[in-house]
């Protein structure tokens, strides 16, 4: 029994860009003993959180995850740090929106490590992996009515095409959409590996043996749509930046270009000072720079890290420091 319990909680996710997170997400003024609050907005199995707690003995950590199952795994992993952590099973948008009403302090550091974890692919049973015979669910949190199965079987041809093309950036979107529409006429598509099979057959043979499985992008698009990930990211960044203390640092690890574009744009906009036309003699907008960008180019994983953890190959970390309230 004890052994089974241990196996159940063995982490399956490897945290990415860990050294950069440890070194960049704290102000130089904070030494490792100083007391401060850190929010891990996407706790997952708690890989980054564990390393941060170990590295900064004075740190208090609030861990947030929309997925109650993965949060339990993090709780088990972090039980050594029981007195220094608080865990919240919430969407990060709600967490940050209500932060000021609930807590008196402000965090000195916030981390977003976007998307889903290996737990979701390997253990959740919710159809995130195209290799598994699981129901096409893909919901990571509460209050979501539409599953991936609903989308696949009810969206119009045009809606499906837009979704696969837009969120998946899939150049075979037309063929894939057509195949889905044709198959679902015969019977509803309900399983992840059935959908993967349909996609496999829909694309030309030359496309089947590339660097990624031909269903990867369609599955990514479905997950993004089911969980409304891009609007949550936009809102989450805005709310998180509001609660961050002045001098505090905000870091975001993204895994695909749509997310990275949102993060980059958010940081760039707040990095601007005066936005008056250049020929105006005096500034009228009185706009002040809200943040300092600490990573001119996003940080990416080393070849060594990618060898150890291939999922890290698309990870990009951007970090900023807040300048004004």
Ligand X SMILES: C[S@@+](CC[C@H](N)C(=O)[O-])C[C@H]1O[C@@H](n2cnc3c(N)ncnc32)[C@H](O)[C@@H]1O
Asked if 250 is part of the footprint of ligand X (rule: CB under 6 A), the reply reads: no
Q: Compute the least distance from the CB of residue 116 to ligand X, in Å.
A: 5
CB of 70 to ligand X, least distance (A): 4
State the minimum distance, in angstroms, from the CB of residue 174 to ligand X: 29
Listed residue (290, 315, 319, 324) closest to 115, CA to CA:
315
232 binds ligand X per the rule CB under 6 A: yes
- Is 109 a residue that touches ligand X (CB under 6 A)? no
Task: Indicate whether 127 belongs to the interface with ligand X (CB under 6 A).
Answer: no
Which residues, numbered 9-38, are part of the site for ligand X (CB under 6 A)? 13, 15
Segment holding 164, helix H or strand E = helix 157-168
208 neighbors 214 (Cβ within 8 angstroms) = yes
* Single residue of 42, 108, 177, 190 touching ligand X by CB under 6 A: 42
Task: Tell me 181's DSSP state.
Answer: H
Cα–Cα distance between 239 and 36 in angstroms, integer? 20
Residue (177 or 227) nearer to ligand X, CB = 227
Q: Concatenated DSSP letters for 193-223? A: HHHHHHHHHHS-HHHHTSSS-TTHHHHHHHH
**Binding status of residue 305 toward ligand X by CB under 6 A:** no
Taking CB under 6 A as the rule, which mask of x and - marks residues 189-228 in contact with ligand X? Answer: ----------------------------------------
Q: What is the DSSP string of 107-151?
A: -SEEEEE-S--HHHHHTS-SS-STTS--BS----SSS----HHHH
Positions touching ligand X (CB under 6 A) are 13, 15, 42, 44-48, 64-67, 70, 91-92, 113, 115-117, 140, 232
């Amino acid at each position: 029994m004890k052994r089974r319990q241990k196996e159940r909680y063995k982490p399956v996710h490897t945290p990415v860009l860990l050294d950069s997170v440890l070194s960049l997400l704290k102000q130089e003024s904070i030494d490792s003993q100083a007391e401060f609050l850190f929010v891990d907005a996407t706790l997952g199995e708690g890989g980054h959180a564990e390393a941060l707690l170990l590295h900064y003995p004075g740190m208090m950590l609030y861990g947030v995850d929309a997925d109650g199952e993965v949060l339990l795994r993090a709780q088990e992993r972090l039980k050594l740090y029981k007195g220094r952590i608080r865990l919240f099973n919430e969407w990060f948008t709600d967490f940050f929106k209500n932060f000021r009403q609930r807590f008196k302090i402000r965090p000195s550091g916030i981390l977003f490590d976007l998307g889903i974890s290996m737990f979701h692919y390997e253990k959740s049973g919710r159809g995130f992996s195209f290799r598994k015979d699981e129901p096409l669910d893909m919901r990571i949190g509460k209050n979501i009515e539409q599953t991936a199965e609903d989308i696949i079987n009810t969206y119009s041809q045009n809606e499906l095409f837009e979704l696969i093309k837009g969120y998946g950036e899939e150049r075979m979107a037309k063929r894939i959409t057509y195949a889905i529409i044709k198959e679902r006429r015969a019977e509803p598509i309900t399983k992840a590996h059935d959908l993967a099979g349909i996609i496999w057959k829909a694309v030309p043979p030359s496309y089947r043996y590339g660097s990624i499985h031909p269903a990867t992008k369609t599955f990514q698009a479905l997950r993004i749509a089911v969980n409304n990930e891009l609007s949550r990211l936009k809102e989450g960044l805005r709310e998180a930046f509001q609660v961050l203390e002045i001098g505090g640092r905000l870091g975001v690890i993204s895994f695909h270009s749509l997310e990275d574009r949102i993060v980059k744009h958010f940081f760039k906009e707040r990095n601007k000072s005066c936005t008056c036309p250049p020929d105006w003699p005096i500034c009228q907008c009185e706009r002040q720079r809200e943040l300092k960008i600490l990573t001119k180019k996003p940080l990416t994983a080393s070849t060594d890290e990618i060898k150890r953890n291939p999922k890290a190959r698309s990870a990009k970390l951007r970090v900023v420091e807040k300048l004004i309230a």
